[in-house]
Structures are given as structure tokens and as C-alpha cells.
Amino acid sequence: MKKATINKTLDKLYARTDFAKRRQAVYSSKNYSQAGIKKLCRKLGNPQDHFKTVHIAGTKGKGSTASFLADILHQNHINTGLYLSPHIIDERDRFFINNKKISWTVFTKACRTIEKAAKDINLTVFDVFTAMAFWIFKQKNITIAVIETGLGGRLDSTNIIKPVLSIITPVNYDHTDKLGNTLKAIASEKAGIIKKNIPCISPDQARPVNAVIKKTCRRRNSKYIPLQSFRIPETLFLPPFQKQNLQLALTAASRLKLDTGYKLIKKLSLPFGRYTKKKNIIFDGAHNPFAMQNLVHSVKKDKTNRKFFRKNIIFYLYPDKKSIAFLKEIPAAWKKYYYLLGLDYIGNAAETAAYNKINKRFHTQLLTDFHDIKKIFNKKELFIFTGSFSLIGKLYKKVLRLL
């Protein structure tokens, strides 16, 4: 498909309100209203009701858990859809059919169909993405789709589905300006995906999180299902936190009466951007203190990293993130670099201010473009790119050319 056609489609899409870029927007039922997507889906014949769904919310691991479960479904010969967020390389990263990313032809057709039906409806960019997923999955005769929430759960655009199963992955502090600054408040937003009479799977969590999830399950007559333990092959290297994500997916698969045998598990792989390792390079989307803690632990546990005499961490954090708490999780011996992404909706001034705040507490070198990375790159050292999927998306292909 011609690039001009793709760009025209994307330009029209991004003319709508995009809360991923309007980061100061107040989190309320007015701004994050489901009225628009409900109206749109009615006009489209409620495509989300034409296939079964599994709904996943959480602070950390929901994308990995969703990807693992979709892979298991596919290996069980079930026509499977997967909807993720955010995208990393391009917008198609959000939509998978049987483990394959959709084509630009499918993407543009879906986007045009949604835009045509949505002429007089107030929708956000994420509303459109979500409706596109529903429409595509219906068109492809999907049997079951795994749906990841975008933000929170209660007010999320995806929360209009009627799932056969809900999953809440580990809950911790993130998006506190919107979801609340206590674990109880954050968990309440995530638990908003729990539906009446629909089972919910969740691992053992911090006491306030467990209390909210179990209380919500009791109120909605939803069976609470704890994490089950499955034997994971030693040949399948997974960082410690990813093992829990896989156990969650396997628990869900078991509930759905799917094959979860040893041979099937051996074929699974990590989704892109979640501890993706290429020789001396690691890409991981850790963007909050909890995620960074897990990433550091994984780097230390990975025996193949011991040969590198120095660890370098190149990161970007949105200015509204808890940068000091994030940096505290990084070992002092690791060389730290802040990459200036130059996002137009953030602005160089805000990014530079974020860097200066970090550099006052933690000695961090500033990288302003890819040439700066080329100057410091050394195949005998480990380089970790993290802090934001936006950073990974921008640098991934360029960085791999250094190998």
C-alpha cells in the first residue's frame, strides 16, 4: 500500500482527541466517556458481541499475559484475535490475527469503515482503535479475542465487552495522577473490568489490592481464581516477572479447557518490547518504579549478561512520570543516559526540564540524537533501552544496525 494513503488515514485518525498525548487531561467519566464507542458499536452492529473475549487489566504484565494467552489459543487451533496497547513500531502493533500483525490494507479499510460510521460521534483516538479491533475480529470470524485495557479499566473504552474471563495482572503505582495515589484506589479502577457472574483470575498481590479484587468479586458474584503453578521448561528463558505472566496465561488457558502441556509451553516466546534481547542489547518498556525493579532483577538473573563488564541504561521518561523513584531502582554502577526524544506534544523544554531534575539527583548523561548513541556503543558492554515504548519504537531498527 502507498505510504501517502497510509499517512492520509493516520492524519484523519489523529485529528481526534488523543489522551496519550494530552497527558494533563483530567481522568473523569466526562473525558473518558464510553458513550461514544457504545453509540458507534451499535451503528456497526455491535461487533464486540460476535466473538468471545478475555479481558485483561493491571499495572504490569498485561500485554505480556495477553500475548502469551493469544499464543496458547492459537496453538490450540482456535481462530484468535489479540488487541494490545500501546503500539511500539507502528499502529498495526495493536492488532493481531493468529499471532500475525494485520496488514496496512486491513488497517486502512477498518479505519475508514469506523470513520465513516463515526461522522457525528465524539470519539477519542483510542475509541477508534478499539472499535477497529472489534470490527476486524468480526470480519475475520475470530472465535476468541484477548483484549488488553488501555488505561485503568473502569472507564476504559474496551470495558464495553462481555468477557468469558477477566484477568488482573500485578497492580502497583502508575498513572497516579489519574487512577489515584493509593493501591486501593488504583486497584478499584482495575477491578472495574470484573463483570457479574464472570470469573476473575489474579495472582496474590499487596494486601490492599487483594482486598479490593476479592471484595469486587464477591459483590458481583464473580468467582475469584488464584494463580495456578505450571512447570516451565528450563530451555524457555523468561525473566522472573515474565514467568508469573505466563503462569497467569496458563491459568486462564486451563480455565478455558485448553491444552497447556509441556510441549506447547516450549513453543511460546516473549512479545516484542518485553525483555527483547539481541546480543548485547535489551529492549524493555519498563516505565514505572515497579517495572524497573523487575527489569533490574531480570538483568541480574540472566546469566548471559555476566560477560559484559559494564551495564548501560538508555532511557526516556515522560515528564509526568515518577522519575526519581524510577532511577532509585537502577544500580549505582550502571551508566545512565537520558535520551531526548523531542516529542512534539511534550516539547523540548519539558523534556530538558525532566532531564535536569533527574541529573540533579543521579549523574545522567544527555543524548540528543542517534549519533550520540553510536559514539558510546560498545559490543563488549550491555545496553538497555527502556523507560518508554516510544523510545523503543524510535530507536529499535537503528540500534540493531550497530550489531
Q: How many CB atoms lie within 10 A of CB 261?
A: 11
How much is the pLDDT for 176? 83
Does residue 242 carry a pLDDT above 80? yes
Across 385-395, average pLDDT: 96
What is the CA angle 129-390-193, rounded to 5? 45
CB of 26 within 8 A of CB of 118? no
Each residue's pLDDT tens digit, 256-285? 999 999 889 999 988 899 999 999 999 999
According to the model, what pLDDT value does residue 167 have? Answer: 98
pLDDT (0 to 100) of residue 128: 98
| Among 203, 213, 205, 156, residue whose Cα is nearest residue 179 | 156
Q: What gap in Å lies between CA 373 and CA 355, rounded to an integer?
A: 17
The pLDDT-based confidence of 131 (bands split at 50, 70, 90) is very high
Per-residue pLDDT, 22: 76
Question: 276-400: which CATH number, 2.40.50.100, 1.10.1060.10, 3.30.470.20, 3.90.190.20?
Answer: 3.90.190.20
- Cα angle: 240, vertex 265, 67; to 5 degrees: 70
- Per-residue model confidence (pLDDT) at position 199: 98
Of 91, 90, 139, which Cα lies nearest the Cα of 113? 139
Confidence (pLDDT) at 26: 80
pLDDT of residue 121: 96
Least confident of 69-78, 154-163, 284-293: 284-293
Give residue-wise pLDDT tens across range 23-35: 777 888 888 999 9
For the chain, the C-alpha Rg in angstroms (whole number) is: 21
| Predicted local distance difference test score (pLDDT) of residue 207 | 97
pLDDT at 52 exceeding the cut of 90: yes
What is 3-266's CATH number?
3.40.1190.10
Provide, rounded to the nearest whole percent, the portion of the chain with pLDDT above 90: 86
The predicted-structure confidence for 207-241, as pLDDT tens digits, reads as follows 999 999 999 999 999 999 999 999 998 888 888 88
Location of C-alpha cell 479491533: 133
**pLDDT tens digits, 190-205:** 999 999 999 999 999 9
Q: For the chain, what are the domain ranges?
A: 3-266, 276-400
pLDDT of residue 354: 93
What pairing do the DSSP bridges indicate for beta strands 311-315 and 224-225? unpaired
More confident residue, 67 or 234: 67
- Cβ contacts of residue 275 below 8 Å, gap of 6+? 239, 242, 282, 283, 284, 295, 298
Contact by Cβ (8 Å): 167, 248? yes
Cα–Cα distance for residue pair 132/129, rounded to 1 Å: 5
- Chain segment 308-326, per-residue pLDDT in tens: 989 999 999 998 888 999 9
Question: How high is the pLDDT of residue 388?
Answer: 94
pLDDT mean across residues, the chain: 95
Percentage of the chain lying above the pLDDT 70 cut: 100
Q: What is the mean pLDDT of residues 376-386?
A: 97
For the segment 5-9, the average pLDDT, to the nearest whole number, is 95
Whole-prediction pTM value? 0.94
Report pLDDT for 175.
86
| CA distances (Å), origin 51, targets 47, 84, 301 | 8, 17, 40
pLDDT band for position 139 (cuts 50, 70, 90) = very high
Tens-place pLDDT, residues 351-367: 999 999 999 999 999 99
**Contacts by 318-322, CB closer than 8 A, 24 or more apart:** 318/23, 318/287, 318/346, 318/354, 318/388, 319/346, 319/350, 319/351, 319/353, 319/354, 320/23, 320/24, 320/177, 321/287, 321/288, 322/173, 322/176, 322/288, 322/289
